Structure 1
Amino acid sequence: MTSERVDRTLSRLERTGRKESAFRGATPTLVARLFVQLLQLSGLVVLGRLLTPSDYGLATIVLTLTAFAFVVNEAALSFYLVYQPQLRDLAVDTAVLLSFLIGVILTGTFLALAQPLSRLYGEPELAPLLYAVAPMYVFGQATVPMGLLLKAGRFGTVGLLEVAGALASLGTSVTAAVQGRGAQALVLGPVVGTLVVTIAAFSIVRWRPRARSDAPAVKGLVRFAGPATGSELLTNLSSGIDRLALSVTGSLATLGYYSRASSMANIPAASLSFMVHRVAIRSFAAVRDDVATLSRQYHALRAVLLISSTAVAAILASASSSLLQLALGPGWRPAAASMAVLSLSIPALVLRSLALALLQAFGRTTLQFQSSLLSAAVTVAGVSAMAAQGEPILVALAVAGASWLSLFWFTLSASRVLTEGWRRQLSSISRAGLVAATCAVTTWIVGDATTAAPATEVAISVGVAASVSLLLAAALCRRSWKDLRARRDSAT
């Protein structure tokens, strides 16, 4: 079948923009994620002073429910386009058509379930929020053009689109909060941001979809996207079950405090994981026929990510109370304990994203689904048991423990792809856990021993965390670097 339109589009994108290799693409991707992270932090600071914990609790119910549907809408389509060595026109048209049809179905579903869900939770204000967020699935059609941009190596353009969406979302939320719209401010922002990204992405790619498809195109897309979508749904279930459980067992204020703690801890984890997954999947796909090179890239990235994510986790865990006081105000200090515990899962989440990129680069989406299923089962069981006590700190402990168990399953799956022994993989997990725990305990002891102002405590925590993480990572990753050097010498 023909691929003239796809080839012409990709050639134009490569010619009119700067095409980066996978590793060079990490720079614009990282810069874009830093800007998005700064915008998110700014939103937390500003909105935390304009809205109440109950507003956050109500919006958390809506955004947690809609997050599951957004995964279905995306359907792993963008990574399917990147994974395919040779794209056909029909495959791209099928992806666009499927994304739109799923969006229409999801919009209708949320419009129909708005009133029943409102009665189920006993919150009359929930229905208008669901009505407001439902159109986001029809607007959110940027999946395919973003996939084509990634296929063409336009990481910088994708990053700019994400920054534009985050800026539009923040501006809308702040404006609505100033007008006194309460929880609606947190819901309207993502809707506007999604619409902005969709319009801009299609304007740049200029792909004009045609309402056509065929059986091979649908079969290939479903074969890849089906298990990947199931895996993403399970991952979102694992990451959202804590808030769903607290929405049933706790008050809106309790849910609001916990959601802010989760957001503060997840911003760096999500940024690092997103960048790693986006860049690594294309890099691994390019060298998947050379297992030795692939193994070197995988272990080198893992060592670097261990150092950086552990430092971030230690800072957030030890200075959680001071950071919340500085960022959101003294009224949010009850969320400090949950934030400290949730921060310890950052290294596990980042390293899991690396293993996930490896599985998707090889098209091992079934293996990915099996790992996600085991991880989700452990998370749901642990969170459900802890949420029955009604204590957010217990739920946070269950989430952090489940994150490290999830890393265990995904790392074992990665070892099967690399045909490496499982003992080496378990050893790397142990080193990562030891580094994270040691840094967190050390910085917590130093921070607890000081009676300085919050800003000084944060500065002390940053310094100690950076020093300890670098020393421990250098010592504990020494063997990994020796293995990499030995492989390089043997290859030459």
Structure 2
Amino acid sequence: MVDLGRAAARGTAFTLVAQSGRFALQIGSLVVLARLLSPEAFGLVAMATSVLGVAELIRDFGLSSAAIQAKELSDAERTNLFWVNVGIGTTCAVLALVLARPIASLYGDPRVAGVVVALAGLLVVSGVTTQFRAELSRDLRFVALGVVELSAQAAGVAVAISSAVLGAGYWSIVAQQGTVVLVTCVLCVVFCGWRPGRPRRDTSVRKFVRFGSHVLGTQVLGYATNNVDNVGIGAVWGAGPLGVYSRAYQLLMVPINQINDPMSRVVLPVLSRVQDDGPTLQRYVEKAQRVGTYGLGPLFAVAAGVAAPLVALLFGPQWTAVVPVFVALAVGGVFRGVGLVTYWGFLARGRADRQLRMYLVTRPLMIGMILAGLPWGPVGVAAGHSAAFAVYWIVALLYMGKVTGLDSRRLLRQALVALAVLSLPVGGLAYLGTRLVDGTVPQLLLGGGLALAWVGLLLLVLPSQRAELAAARGLLRRQRVPAA
């Protein structure tokens, strides 16, 4: 029998090693492309992708999560799910082509239509990929998934930079996205031993579609919350301000995606296997949450503190407008880093329906909070974004506990203690360091050094925090990883 705790730890360890390489590639891409392209170029592509991303969620239809969460999955069911995803992806691609001009009209920029048309075909490719990727997750093939992610990202970055150097402008960003999707598809098919057959009429996938529809509803509402800021800024303020906002937002999301996405692929299949064992499920969820509370939380706090020299180093002096936007977003990033645990809890218990019910109430309120900042431009929207996610995290965590039977108050206490004794102080000390010296590099070094000094002090004088940090580190570092 597979030791799920060990499998989760090993899988997380390798996945995060691979993601560290992906993180370096994405940061490198951000740095280089910011010096090769204008804010308008980034804003133009963001206009298209912020709307087109809804089609990507519909294309998946929650069926990847449904397949991963299922206790048993026959080959016939897997085959039918594959064809459902391909069919939905093709339909979404056709709709995107039809709606390309109306989307461009929304922003008042005809160039957006060309971007939508260029990206539409990728929905079909992603539909093909869905069940191959889900099968790798079900089999705990975390090494293979890590290789796929890293290889696709490397190819995309290489294409984007080469295209930008040759003068392709915003099309270099489009080419990057296309390369990532195509390489991901090819490698998932290569690594996965399963192959789909013909659709089976005698095999129903209705239960998967029902579960997936709940996940889809949740994801669409979540996507609307995460992207209404781009649509609002693009429509009201134009491509330039949206380009500034999108750079700040991507700088926020790079570390979140590097940890949350791979962690979900590792944690969700493991939690689903122990969904009927309450104490074990609680223990695993607490371990998973520590990655956010002792990883992303302090990271964003320090990043907010050293935002000015960090942006100057990464993007150059022409991007100073990014600084206040990023600071406002980073505050919310702290809560987003710890908030994924609610998503895991709902899906592991098979209660995507109750999560959707919660989203129907909370997400429209969050969207209202975000759009309320529009009169103050990108900074106002960023502040509304962070406030919305802070409130949502607490509400969602408590409701998740009520629905799933997990001790959410214990999870809340664990997270609040970490934020109070670790994230808040290191962020304040990092900012203090930038005020004591001049120069980009000295400010980063002193700010980071003061933050590390506080971590060292915690380890020295607080045994409880020493144990928590050790537990978080233990989740990421365990002996060998499973073979691909």
TM-score by length of 1: 0.88
Q: Deviations over 1:419-449 (max 9, x none)?
A: 35665454445435534334323322332x2
Residue number in structure 2 paired with 1:460? 446
Q: Which structure ranks higher in relative contact order (CA pairs < 8 Å, sequence separation ≥ 6)?
A: 2
Residue range with higher mean Cα deviation, 154-163 or 401-410: 401-410
Percent sequence identity is 23
Following superposition, the deviation at residue 337 of structure 1 comes to 0.8
- State the SS of the aligned residue for 1:344: helix
User: What does 1:423-442 align with in structure 2 at a 5 Å threshold?
Assistant: 423-428=409-414, 430-434=416-420, 435-442=422-429
- Distance (whole Å) between structure 1 residues aligned to residue 331 and residue 60 of structure 2: 29
Residues 362-373 of structure 1: matches in 2 within 5 Å?
362-373=349-360
Aligned mate of 1:357, from 327, 344, 353: 344
* Match in the other structure for 1:58: 44
Partner residue in 1 for 2:378: 392
Task: Indicate if the aligned counterparts of 1:307 and 1:470 stay in contact, CA closer than 8 A.
Answer: no
TM-score by length of 2: 0.89
Residue 63 of structure 2 is aligned with which of 77, 84, 96? Answer: 77
Distance 2:26 2:361 in 1: 31
Cα deviation for residue 300 of structure 1 reads 3.1
Please name the residue that 2:94 is paired with.
Answer: 108
Q: Are 2:207 and 1:208 equivalent residues in the alignment? A: no
Measure, in 2, the Cα distance between the counterparts of 1:418 and 1:300: 17
1:283 shift after superposition: 2.2
Q: Is the 8 A contact 1:315 1:443 kept in 2?
A: yes
| In the alignment, structure 1 residue 191 sits paired with structure 2 residue 183 | no
Q: Is the 8 A contact 1:23 1:283 kept in 2?
A: no
- Are the counterparts in 1 of residues 332 and 386 from structure 2 also a CA contact under 8 Å? yes
Find the residue that maps to 2:350 and give its secondary structure: coil
Equivalents in 2 of 1:420, 1:156: separation in Å? Answer: 30
Structure 1 213/348 Cα, relative in aligned 2: closer, same or farther at 3 Å? Answer: farther
Change (3 A) 1:470 1:147: farther
Q: Helix, strand or coil: the match of 1:391?
A: helix
Question: Judging changes above 3 Å, is the alpha-carbon distance between structure 1 residues 248 and 215 closer, same or farther for their aligned structure 2 residues?
Answer: farther
1:348-379 superposed Cα distances (whole Å, 9 cap, x missing partner): 11222122112111111112213333342222
Q: CA RMSD in A?
A: 2.5
Match of 1:163 in 2: 150
- Counting only pairs closer than 5 Å after superposition, residues 460-479 of structure 1 correspond to structure 2 as 460-468=446-454
Q: Distance in 2 between matches of 1:479 and 1:420?
A: 25
Deviation at 1:215, TM superposition (A): 7.3
Check whether the contact 1:169–1:189 (CA below 8 A) recurs between aligned residues: yes
What is the Cα deviation at residue 452 of structure 1? 2.4
Partner in structure 1 of residue 293 of structure 2: 306
Cα separation, partners in 2 of 1:469 and 1:230, compared to 1, 3 Å: farther
Q: Following the alignment from structure 2 to structure 1, what is the Cα–Cα distance between the partners of residues 406 and 137?
A: 30
Structure-1 residue corresponding to 2:15:
29
Q: SS of 1:211's equivalent?
A: coil
In the alignment, structure 1 segments of 5+ residues that lack a partner are 1-13, 15-19, 485-492
2:237 is matched with which residue? 250
Gaps of 5+ in 2: 472-484
CA contact (8 A) 1:258 1:392 kept: yes
Partner residue, 1:226: 213
Distance between the aligned counterparts of 1:81 and 1:464, measured in 2? 46
Which residue number corresponds to residue 287 of structure 1?
A: 274
Q: Deviations over 1:146-187 (max 9, x none)?
A: 111111111010110111111121122112212212111111
Q: Which moved more, 1:80-89 or 1:410-419?
A: 410-419
Provide Cα deviations, 1:254-293, integer angstroms capped at 9, x if missing partner.
Answer: 1111110111111112222113222221221222222112
8 Å CA contact retained: 2:67, 2:208 = no
Instruction: Indicate whether 1:345 and 2:332 are aligned.
Output: yes
Q: Call closer, same or farther: CA 1:356–1:469 in 2, change over 3 Å.
A: farther
How far does residue 345 in structure 1 lie from its aligned partner after superposition? 2.0
Closer, same or farther: CA 233–52 of 1 in aligned 2, 3 Å: same
- Alpha-carbon distance change, 402 to 472 in structure 1, aligned in 2, over 3 angstroms: farther
**In 1, are the aligned partners of 2:301 and 2:334 still within 8 Å (CA)?**
no
Greater displacement, 371-380 / 109-118: 371-380
